């Protein structure tokens, strides 16, 4: 049988409320993916947590670190980094055969081993970037020719005016003050006399 790094023995800590145990666990969690970001199958994840015996179960608090990779949402280049998630969750004893309460926000505690894996997975899934960027000012790709605009402007002609906005453009041309954010006829200060 292979050793599971996410199983933590809790016999000693459960003897008395107030007991505390520090654990640093590292291992693979399996492939996790959210949109264009993922933690690869062979990536090592770390959980640096404290387990506290409290009334009603074991509270787990600490940090989860994991490397992630993805694709920039604008230029489609590979991007990646290290995510860090803070956790503070309760593991509560649940009798065998008792179905989980859908509204309950706790993890099941069965026997003398606490399984950190579901907590680690949930924390990573919540922190993975949904739409990553290679850098905040990434210019992306030209929607016409696909050129990388970070390398300079492409040769495509400038887009023409969108015909759907023609009526609003006509109104702006008729009232030049509206374009500058100036006062229109109904915007004068009522307390100011002409």
Q: What is the pLDDT of residue 154?
A: 83
- Regions of the chain where pLDDT drops below 50: 1, 190, 192-194
In which residue are the tokens 């404290």 written? 50
- Number of alpha carbons in the 13 Å side-chain half-sphere of residue 108: 11
Beta strand 37-39 with 44-54: parallel, antiparallel or unpaired? unpaired
Q: What is the pLDDT of residue 104?
A: 64
- Rg, Å, the chain Cα set: 28
Q: What is the pLDDT of residue 194?
A: 43
What span, in angstroms and rounded, lies between the C-alpha atoms of 109 and 102?
Answer: 16
The pTM score is 0.72
């Amino acid at each position: 049988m292979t050793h599971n790094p996410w199983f933590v023995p809790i016999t000693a800590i459960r003897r008395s409320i107030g007991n505390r145990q520090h654990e640093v666990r590292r291992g693979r969690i399996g492939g996790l993916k959210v949109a264009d970001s993922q933690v690869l199958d062979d990536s090592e994840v770390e959980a640096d947590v404290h387990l506290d015996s409290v009334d009603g179960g074991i509270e787990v608090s600490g940090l989860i670190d994991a490397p992630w990779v993805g694709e920039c949402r604008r230029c489609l280049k590979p991007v990646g980094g290290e995510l860090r998630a803070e956790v503070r969750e309760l593991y509560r004893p649940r009798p065998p055969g008792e179905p989980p309460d859908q509204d309950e926000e706790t993890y099941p505690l069965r026997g003398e081993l606490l399984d950190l894996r579901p907590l680690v997975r949930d924390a990573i899934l919540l922190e993975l970037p949904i739409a990553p960027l290679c850098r905040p000012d990434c210019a992306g790709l030209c929607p016409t020719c696909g050129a990388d605009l970070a390398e300079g402007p492409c040769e495509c002609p400038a887009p023409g005016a969108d015909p759907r906005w023609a009526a609003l453009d006509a109104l702006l041309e008729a009232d030049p003050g509206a374009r500058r954010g100036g006062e229109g006829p109904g915007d004068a200060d009522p307390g100011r006399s002409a």
